[in-house]
Structure 1
Amino acid sequence: MAALDGTNKPFKGILLIVFATMLFASHDALSKYLTGFYPVLLVIWVRYVAHTLLMFGLFVPNTGLRVLRTRNLKLQVLRACSLLGTSLFFITSLQYIPLAEATSVNFLAPLMVTALSVPLLGERVSRGQWVAVLVGFCGVLIIVHPGGELFTPAILLPLCSATCFCAYQILTRKLSGLDSPTTSNFYAGIISSIIMSALVPFFWQTPTWYHALMMVALGGFGMTAHLLMTQAFRYAAPALLAPFGYCQIVFAGLLGFILFNHVPEPATLLGISVICLSGLAAAWLQKRVKVSG
C-alpha cells in the first residue's frame, strides 16, 4: 500500500511515528504527575482547551473557518466523545496503575478494532487474526494474574480506555473518506473542550503557574503527536508504520522507571510482550489479507 500522497519515504515516516509515540508517552507521564496534585477533570480540561487554541492559531489564519466544515457532524461528535472517554479512563487509571502496564493494556484497542471490523466496517478477518486477538487478551490475563500487583478492580480503567479508543479508531476510519484529519482533530478538541468546560467548575482547583504551564504543554504534546502521525502516513504505508506504534510502550516503560522508579515484575513484562507480539501479528496478517484481496 502506497503512502497517502504517493511519496514513498519510509525512513522519514518511521522517524515521525517514533517521535509521535515518544510525545504520547511523555503526555501520559506528565498527566500521571499532574494528577498527583489536581483533579483529573481539570488536567484534561486544560489539555483539550490548549489543543483547540493551538489548532486555531496554526490553521485558521491560513484556511479560515473552512477547516470546520464536516460532512458528518454526528460521527465527529461520537469520535470526539470516544477520545474524551479514552482520556478520562486512561489518565484516571494512572493514579492506580504504573505507566507501562496501563499503556500496554490500552494497546488492546487495535486488536479490538480487528475483532469489530467485520460487523462494523465490513472488512475481512482471517483465522490467524482471530488467533492474534485471543492471544492479545491472554496477554492481559498474564499481566493481571491472581496474586499480582495489578489484580485489582483498577485494571478495568485501562480496559475501558481501550474500548473507547477502539471506538475512536473505528470512527476515524469511517470519517477518513469524508473529512480531513485536520478537521477531525479540530472537532475532537472543540467538542471535548465544551464538555469538560461544563464539568470542570465542580472540580476547580487553581494550579500554580508552573503546573499550569505543564497542563498547557499537555495540549501541545497531544496536538503535535497527532499531526506527526498524520504526516507519517504521507510518507509510508500504514502496514509498515504499525509495528513502530508499539514504541510507545517502550517509552512509557522508560519514563515510568526514570520519573516514578517503577520496574515491572517478570510476569508483567511477559504479558506486555504477548500483547505487543499479538498486535504486530494482527497488523502483518491484515496486510496479507489486503494484498490477497
Structure 2
Amino acid sequence: MTPLHGIALKLSAVFVFTIMASLIKASSDIVPPGEAVFFRSFFAMPIIIAWLAARGDLSTGLKVQRPMGHVWRGLIGVSAMGSGFTALGLLPLPEVTALGYAAPLLTVIFAAIFLKERLRLFRMSAVGLGLIGVVVVLWPRLTLDGLDDAAALGVACILFSAVLRALAQIHIRRMVATEPTAAIVFWFSMTATLFSLLTIPFGWEWPGTAGLVQLISAGLIGGVGQILLTSSYRHAEAAVLAPFDYASILFAILFGYFFFDEVPTAMVLIGSGIVMLAGVIIIWRERQLGLKRGKARAGMSAKW
C-alpha cells in the first residue's frame, strides 16, 4: 500500500463529492429531489461501467448471489440520497455537511444493535460527544426565531438521511460476505436509477439547458467520486483514510461562501469541530484495538 496515494485519492473524492452537492444545490429550485436522484444515479453509470470494464470486473459486477440484498440497498440508498438532496435546497451547504456527520456516529450505534458488535464505554462516550456536537450545530435552529418551516424540514431531512446512510453501511457490511464490491457499486446505481423513476408522478420538471448541464455534470462527477473513493482503499487502510472525510466541511465552507453567499455560523463551526473530534477519537480507538487484535493473532500463531 502507498498511504499518501490513498490519502490523495480520498481527498480528491471528498472534493469531487462537494462539487456534486453544490451542483445539486444549485439545481434544487429547478427540479424536485427525486429527479435530481435520477440524474445523479443514471449519469454515474457510464463512468462506473467504464471503470469496471477497465479493471476487468464488469462480469463480476453483473453477478449477484442475493438479489434482494441489492434491492434493499438501493431502496435505503435512494431514500437517503433524496432526503439529503431535499436538505441541500433548504439549508446552507456547510450546515448540511456538518449535520451529515451524524451518520458515522449512528453507524457505531446500529452496529451494536444489528450486528451485535460490542459497544464499549470509550466508544459510547465518543459517540455521545459527537451527538452533542450535532446538537450544537442544531441549537440556533431549536429557538423559535431560528426554526421556520423550511429550516425544520431541512433539518429533519438531513438527519433522516444520516440515519438511512448509517443503516446502509450496516447493510453493506452484511452484503460483502456474499457480494463482490463491483456488484454492490454497479447495482446500487442501477436500482437507485429505477427507484428514482417512481417519483415521476410527484412532478418532474424540464430543467432547461443550464439546469440540464448541472444535473448531468452532478451524475458524471458523482461517478468519478465513487471511483476515487473506492480506489483510495486499495492504497491505504480505512482507519488511515477515515479522518479525511472531515475535509468536506472546509470544502463546503468555501463553496458555500463563493457560490451561494453562505457564511457558516459560529455554532456550526464549533459543533462541527466537536463532531470531528469524536469521529477521530473513534477512529483512533478502532485502530488501537485493531493493532491489539493483530498482536494477539501473531502471538497465537507463534505458539503453533
Deviations 1:240-288 (A, max 9, x none): 1110111112111111111111111112211111111111111111222
Secondary structure of the corresponding residue to residue 144 of structure 1: helix
Q: Does 1:74 align with 2:68?
A: yes
Structure 1 counterpart of 2:213, one-letter code? L
Which stretch has the larger CA shift, 122-131 or 222-231?
Answer: 122-131
Distance 2:183 2:21 in 1: 24
Structure 1 counterpart of 2:38, one-letter code? W
Q: 1:250 to 1:49 in 2, by over 3 A?
A: same
Distance 2:138 2:109 in 1: 22
Q: Retained in 2: the 8 A contact 1:39–1:203?
A: yes
Q: Which runs of 5+ in 1 are unaligned?
A: 1-7
Q: Retained in 1: the 8 A contact 2:61–2:182?
A: yes
* 1:189 match: 189
* 2:251 match: 251
Distance 2:60 2:244 in 1: 33
Distance 1:119 1:64 in 2: 35
How far apart are 1:26 and its partner, in Å?
A: 0.9
Secondary structure of the corresponding residue to residue 234 of structure 2: helix
Q: Retained in 2: the 8 A contact 1:97–1:150?
A: no
How far apart are 1:135 and its partner, in Å?
A: 0.9
How far apart are 1:100 and its partner, in Å?
A: 0.9
Identity fraction in percent: 23
Secondary structure of the corresponding residue to residue 272 of structure 1: helix
Distance 1:257 1:52 in 2: 31
Deviations 1:22-70 (A, max 9, x none): 0111111110000122222222211111122433344358555442111
Distance 1:291 1:150 in 2: 45
Residue among 101, 108, 112 paired with 1:118: 112
Q: Does 1:224 align with 2:217?
A: no
Distance 1:63 1:287 in 2: 30
Alignment of 1:260-271 (within 5 A): 260-271=260-271
Distance 2:162 2:147 in 1: 17
Q: Retained in 2: the 8 A contact 1:144–1:150?
A: no
Structure 1 counterpart of 2:44, one-letter code? H
* 1:288 match: 288
Q: Does 1:44 align with 2:37?
A: yes
Q: Retained in 2: the 8 A contact 1:113–1:170?
A: yes
Which stretch has the larger CA shift, 64-73 or 186-195?
Answer: 64-73
Distance 1:285 1:43 in 2: 38
* 1:92 match: 86
Q: Number of residue pairs matched? A: 286
Q: Does 1:142 align with 2:141?
A: no
Query: Scaled by the length of structure 1, what TM-score is found?
Result: 0.91
Distance 1:227 1:116 in 2: 27
Q: 1:198 to 1:289 in 2, by over 3 A?
A: same
Task: Let me know the Cα RMSD of the aligned residues.
Answer: 1.9
Structure 2 counterpart of 1:104, one-letter code? A
Secondary structure of the corresponding residue to residue 207 of structure 2: coil
- Give the greater-gyration-radius structure (CA): 2
Query: Scaled by the length of structure 2, what TM-score is found?
Result: 0.88
Q: Retained in 1: the 8 A contact 2:70–2:187?
A: yes
Structure 1 counterpart of 2:30, one-letter code? F
Q: Retained in 2: the 8 A contact 1:135–1:278?
A: yes
Q: 1:160 to 1:107 in 2, by over 3 A?
A: same
How far apart are 1:176 and its partner, in Å?
A: 2.3
Distance 2:125 2:252 in 1: 27
Deviations 1:125-156 (A, max 9, x none): 32111011111111111111143746852311
